[in-house]
């Protein structure tokens, strides 16, 4: 504040104080003197002096009271308002703590919801995978059942072989070599079998005589036929069934004389069509 403004304010305050003081003095002179109470006069005790109050109660206004009154002091204002400020600071701390707690609870709730959502999605994925695996297992079981049925049907048809052709190979007594006529007969039967399946060749050897000697000789005759089919026409060995019959009678029950080999071609028409 500028000096001349302060000076003007002081002069105005002094003038106001003088005017108030004059008015109070006039009012005191105009009023009659109060008669002391009877009790006080009787006892002779002097009256207690009147207690003066400060400027703000209307007694003895002066510049000093005006300037030095507690309401005019910044320290007084600060002392009076400090509890309010402390309470406000305490409320701010409580509010901040509550806000932090609410934020923490909200964060944990959001985290819990996220975990629950992730677990739900994972469970859904596991359920989908399980359903897919179950469907694949059902498909595999159906395929396996179909394959087993087909195998059973094929196995059931394995013995459905029927004689397609039959050739008899004759040998001279004491010989096991094939003649030209025997080879031509075997060629005629084996050549159509190239790149074919579902067939077997049954080779049965017969030899005159008796006992093990006849069986051994009949096996040698059958070996010569098998050897020719395998080496000349590349017939797989597993498709040839050979047996030495010795001097056993033929299928018609007639006991033929001489050394011979019966070659029968058996085909499975049901399996061949598949």
Per-residue b/e over 144-159, b at no fewer than 16 CB within 10 Å? eeeeeeeeeeeeebee
Question: Which CATH number covers residue 236?
Answer: 3.30.1330.60
Residue 185 near residue 171 (C-beta atoms within 8 A): no
Q: How far is CA 220 from the centre of its chain?
A: 72
For 170, the token pair is 């004759």
198 in a domain, yes or no? yes
Mean pLDDT of 188-200: 88
Q: Are 259 and 208 in contact (CB under 8 A)?
A: yes
pLDDT surpasses 70 at 34? no
Task: Count how many domains the chain has.
Answer: 1
Beta bridge pairs of residue 165 = 265
Q: Would you say residue 199 lies in a domain?
A: yes
pLDDT per position as a tens digit, 147-181 = 777 777 666 655 677 878 889 999 988 888 999 99
Asked whether residue 201 is domain-assigned, the answer is yes
Q: How confident is the model at residue 57 (pLDDT cuts 50, 70, 90)?
A: very low
Nearest to 128 by CA among 120, 139, 112: 120
Structural domain includes residue 220:
yes
In a domain? residue 90: no
End-to-end CA distance of the chain: 122
The 162-171 sheet, strands edge to edge: 162-171, 259-267, 199-206, 240-246
Read off the pLDDT band of 59 (50, 70, 90).
very low
CA-nearest of 253, 262, 250, 264 to 205 is: 262
Least confident of 18-32, 72-86, 177-191, 241-255: 18-32
Its domain, for residue 234, covers 162-272
Q: What is the pLDDT of residue 15?
A: 58
For the full predicted model, state whether its pTM sits above 0.95: no
CA gap 126, 132 in Å, rounded: 10
Helix (H) or strand (E) holding 169: strand 162-171
pLDDT at res. 9 = 60
In a domain, 100, yes or no: no
In a domain, 52, yes or no: no
Angle, alpha carbons 57-59-63 (nearest 5°): 95
Residue 61 lies in a domain: no
């Amino acid at each position: 504040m500028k000096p001349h403004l302060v000076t003007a304010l002081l002069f105005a305050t002094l003038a106001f104080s003088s005017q108030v003081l004059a008015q109070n003095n006039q009012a005191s002179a105009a009023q009659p003197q109060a008669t002391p109470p009877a009790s006080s006069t009787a006892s002779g005790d002097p009256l207690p002096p009147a207690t003066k109050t400060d400027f703000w109660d209307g007694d003895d206004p002066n510049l000093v009271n005006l300037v030095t009154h507690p309401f005019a002091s910044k320290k007084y204002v600060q002392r009076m308002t400090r509890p309010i400020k402390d309470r406000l600071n305490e409320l701010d701390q409580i509010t901040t703590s509550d806000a932090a707690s609410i934020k923490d609870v909200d964060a944990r709730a959001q985290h819990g919801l996220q975990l629950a959502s992730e677990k739900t999605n994972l469970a859904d994925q596991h359920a989908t995978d399980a359903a897919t695996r179950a469907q694949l297992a059902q498909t595999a079981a159906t395929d396996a059942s179909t394959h087993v049925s087909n195998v059973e049907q094929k196995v059931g048809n394995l013995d459905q072989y029927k004689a397609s052709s039959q050739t008899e190979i004759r040998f001279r007594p004491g010989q096991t070599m094939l003649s030209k006529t025997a080879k031509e007969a075997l060629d005629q039967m084996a050549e159509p079998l190239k790149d074919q399946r579902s067939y077997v060749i049954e080779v049965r050897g017969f030899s005159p005589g008796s006992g093990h000697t006849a069986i051994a000789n009949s096996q040698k005759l059958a070996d010569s036929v098998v050897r020719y089919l395998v080496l000349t026409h590349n017939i797989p060995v597993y498709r040839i069934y050979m047996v030495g019959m010795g001097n056993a009678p033929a299928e018609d029950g007639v006991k033929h004389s001489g050394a011979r080999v019966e070659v029968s071609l058996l085909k499975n028409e049901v399996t061949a069509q598949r």
